[in-house]
Structure 1
Amino acid sequence: MKKNEVASSPVPDHVPPELVRDFSLFTSPGMPPTVNGDPHAAVACVHAGPPIFYAPHNTRDGRGTWVITRARDQRRVLQDTETFSSHRSIFASALGETWPMIPLELDPPAHGVFRSLLNPLFSPQRVTALEPAVRERAIALIDRIAASGTSCDVMKDFAFPFAVNIFLRFLGLSDHRLDIFVDWGKDLLHGEPVKRSAAAQKIVSFIDDLAALRRKVPVGDFMTFVVQAKVEGRPLTDKEVRGIGVLVFVAGLDTVAAAIGFDLSYLARNPKDQEWLRSKPERIGLAAEELLRAFSTVQMLRVATKDIDFEGAPIRKGDYISCATMIANRDPAEFACPDTVDLAREENSHSAFANGPHRCLGSHLARREIVIGLEEWLARIPAFRIKEGTAPITHGGHVFGIENLILDWC
């Protein structure tokens, strides 16, 4: 994992010393080296220890968190919104502010109000309507790659231009600033503190300016819908519009591209699985679910609203709790041979898109993008591998990422 500077916070007095572990999703100190650039294999090692422990430096701003390792315990936390709040202002805190991303950082009942407002925009029917455009974009990018030679930087040439273009199209934006937006996302999620704060400010300014423009000049796009929407009979406030816009914007900049990158990295290293999918393209949908499980990218944080003893851990009001999908989806109690990627795995109730009322709003679109991206890549690019002399760079953090993924083929 790429190392970010994260200052550890003092261990609170209520945390028993035997439950403290030297662990971080950002730097993973004290853990084995990543395997072939695989941060998922590194963090999976926590299953050899206690089901819940305290990590004094498991957030970028130096906060300690309780780390929930078992999938069933993560589900309990994510479903209990009264005890474990979602309002932690991760994005706004980079600006020294406290407004929530909506609906991600709202608790019920407010969460349900905004979720109901946005659900129709991300429905399976809307995703189906977008599918021809998604496939057209994938084909155009891959054909361009295939025509230009026998090597490419997957993230730069395919994953980001593909995933971010679809997301911008969904928002009703052109992609002439795509590279700039991608850079903002990288700085926000994986950059140093100064870059992270600057990226957050640029994103907020962009969303605020776009909202102001759509109020004056409405068109049939996502932001027009948001600025004209009403909840409980009233228009949305400026901060509510910003909270929705920032969430959707940030969510589209990295996660799907990262998933595609991790998937192609795995297939490049495992030619037998690559060939199996080529011979059975009808199995790509099933395989994509296994790859989502094995290479999940997102950590969910919650804040305790009251004192509670949870599975032997004395969690106190205000404590942060980490529910990392990349840990839950390697739980041996849930998945047979969890560290083995089995593309034919049938029973696969993974939590790559989280659980509970905050389950990922864009999961239907993300799934279709990943499946279509893999289908068209395997149909158009011959047997590929990681280019000799190169090595992908992987990032830890709230969202895992990958870059410098150079593939070649004959």
Structure 2
Amino acid sequence: MSRSVPEILENIDLYADDQVDHLLDALAVARTECPIRHTTADGGYYVITRYEDVRTVCENPELFSSAQPALRGVPVRIIPVDSDPPEHRHFRAFLNHYFSRTFLLRHEEQMRKIARTAIAAFLDRGELDVVRDYAIPFSAGSLARVVFATDNQDLVQRGVAAVNRVAVESTPETFQRVAELAMEAMAEVENAAQEREDVLAALTTAEFDGRPLTVEERLGIVTALLLGGLDTTRGMIVHIAHHLATRPGVERVLRTPDWWRNPLDEFLRYQTTVSFMARVVTKDTELSGVPLRKGDRLAVHFYSANRDPNRFDHPDELDLTRPSKPNAAFGMGIHRCLGQHFARIQLATAFEELLTRTTNFRLKEGQEIRRMAGVPLGTPQQLWLTFDKR
């Protein structure tokens, strides 16, 4: 049974399945009544709900550390997500080049082939589960090819399968399998690193403070790249597909060549797929008048920030004509998402290829859409749509 807004506000739990349906409503009340709200869930933390407070936390890493970026932890390091200055700057310095839009566009044709292969598997059925039939195989396949970046097709296929398992299961065993394959791929690259230009080659030659990266650091970076891309792209494909099937005019927008600019920003603002991340207070301070102690944990709620009426007019409406305005969908400050250009390229490619072969999407009758709690807040666990072939 879903909890009501007053029940949620008594003790917010960002991972509780029975709070999903009304959590955004509760956060809206919190933004007005108590915008920095404490909860005892998961050992206790403060939920930061307003846009300006979220920005303050994200832009002050010396006060609010990213060393523990997940409230419930992760089994391995996720670099540079869990890095603070000055370490963070060194890791981003060599990674930025490989995740620029210009560099990533060299993978565009591979992404199109991945999309076409996934579409071919369901095209004649006239229906699909967007999550398993398209979002997961497309996002996992794209990530594996971009991150592993090898001509060894056996390794690529094993990488795709491993990333798929992480997307579906997210167990320590699936993370371990990805780590093993990353090590295999880096070992393959090591002897030819000077002749290649890709992220794995960069990891084998990069230095930090005059020394090579450790094995843990290399694995931490690969894990962060894979996890970040999975959550953002997979979730947004599903959300946009739901709007495609339920809102008149969305298909027309998605057929516009530059929809990945302003309209995509609005999709991201409206349904932020990485809804929150954690920070730890490094010394006694205050935030908007609320005293915080060293060691206090914060849940920086990007989704709530993107629904703040002090930042956005009519924020609870999806307005694909909304003028462009920076939002928190990819984070803020030094930890703004490294893969944001990759996400935009993938999303543009996914829907361009899908709509080349299909049209007139509808929700499949009789299905009950169950939505996720936690970081991918509100993302459907399954989404069955029917369509017509073009």
TM-score by length of structure 1 reads: 0.82
Specify the alignment match of 1:110 in structure 2: 87
Specify the alignment match of 1:24 in structure 2: 13
Specify the alignment match of 2:381 in structure 1: 403
Specify the alignment match of 1:192 in structure 2: none
Q: Are 2:43 and 1:63 equivalent residues in the alignment? A: yes
Query: Structure 2 vs 1, CA of residues 279 and 374 (structure 1 numbering), >3 Å: closer, same or farther?
Result: closer
Which of 276, 279, 301 in structure 2 is aligned with 1:302?
279
* Counterparts of 1:28 and 1:144, CA distance in 2: 32
Which of 81, 85, 90 in structure 1 is aligned with 2:61?
81
Structure 1 unaligned blocks of 5 or more: 4-19, 189-195
Q: Are 2:126 and 1:150 equivalent residues in the alignment? A: yes
Which of 1, 7, 21 in structure 2 is aligned with 1:33?
21
Which of 173, 179, 189 in structure 2 is aligned with 1:198?
173
Please state whether the residue corresponding to 1:290 is helix, strand or coil.
Answer: helix
Deviations for 1:51-103, whole angstroms, at most 9, x for unmatched residues? 1111221xxxx2321111111110110010110001116499454xxx74211
* Counterparts of 1:175 and 1:127, CA distance in 2: 20
8 Å contact kept, 1:82–1:305: yes
Query: Structure 2 vs 1, CA of residues 93 and 409 (structure 1 numbering), >3 Å: closer, same or farther?
Result: closer
Specify the alignment match of 1:193 in structure 2: none
Q: Are 2:223 and 1:246 equivalent residues in the alignment? A: yes
* Counterparts of 1:289 and 1:89, CA distance in 2: 24
Q: Are 2:182 and 1:182 equivalent residues in the alignment? A: no
8 Å contact kept, 1:134–1:372: yes
Aligned positions of 1:10-409 closer than 5 A: 21-27=10-16, 33-34=21-22, 44=28, 46-57=30-41, 62-88=42-68, 90=70, 93-95=73-75, 100-146=77-123, 148-171=124-147, 172=149, 174-188=156-170, 196-215=171-190, 220=196, 221-270=198-247, 272-277=248-253, 280-283=256-259, 285-298=261-274, 299-400=276-377, 401-409=379-387
* Counterparts of 2:315 and 2:175, CA distance in 1: 36
1:344 is displaced (CA, Å) by: 1.1
* Counterparts of 1:361 and 1:243, CA distance in 2: 14
Structure 2 unaligned blocks of 5 or more: 4-8, 151-155
Specify the alignment match of 2:6 in structure 1: none
Deviations for 1:13-57, whole angstroms, at most 9, x for unmatched residues? xxxxxxx8411221165x5835xxxx7567555435321111221
Please state whether the residue corresponding to 1:367 is helix, strand or coil.
Answer: helix
Please state whether the residue corresponding to 2:157 is helix, strand or coil.
Answer: coil
* Counterparts of 2:93 and 2:381, CA distance in 1: 36
1:368 is displaced (CA, Å) by: 1.4
1:206 is displaced (CA, Å) by: 3.9
TM-score by length of structure 2 reads: 0.86
Query: Structure 2 vs 1, CA of residues 154 and 45 (structure 1 numbering), >3 Å: closer, same or farther?
Result: farther
8 Å contact kept, 2:17–2:372: no
* Counterparts of 2:58 and 2:202, CA distance in 1: 29
* Counterparts of 1:391 and 1:53, CA distance in 2: 32
Pick which of 397-406 and 311-320 moved more. 397-406
8 Å contact kept, 1:294–1:341: yes
Deviations for 1:99-133, whole angstroms, at most 9, x for unmatched residues? 74211111111110111011111112112322333
Moved over 6 A (4+): none
Could you say what the CA RMSD is over the residues aligned between the two structures, in angstroms? 2.9
Please state whether the residue corresponding to 2:62 is helix, strand or coil.
Answer: coil
1:217 is displaced (CA, Å) by: 7.2
Query: Structure 2 vs 1, CA of residues 83 and 102 (structure 1 numbering), >3 Å: closer, same or farther?
Result: same
Specify the alignment match of 1:191 in structure 2: none
1:144 is displaced (CA, Å) by: 4.6
Query: Structure 2 vs 1, CA of residues 48 and 106 (structure 1 numbering), >3 Å: closer, same or farther?
Result: same
1:149 is displaced (CA, Å) by: 2.2
* Counterparts of 1:238 and 1:282, CA distance in 2: 41
Pick which of 342-351 and 111-120 moved more. 342-351
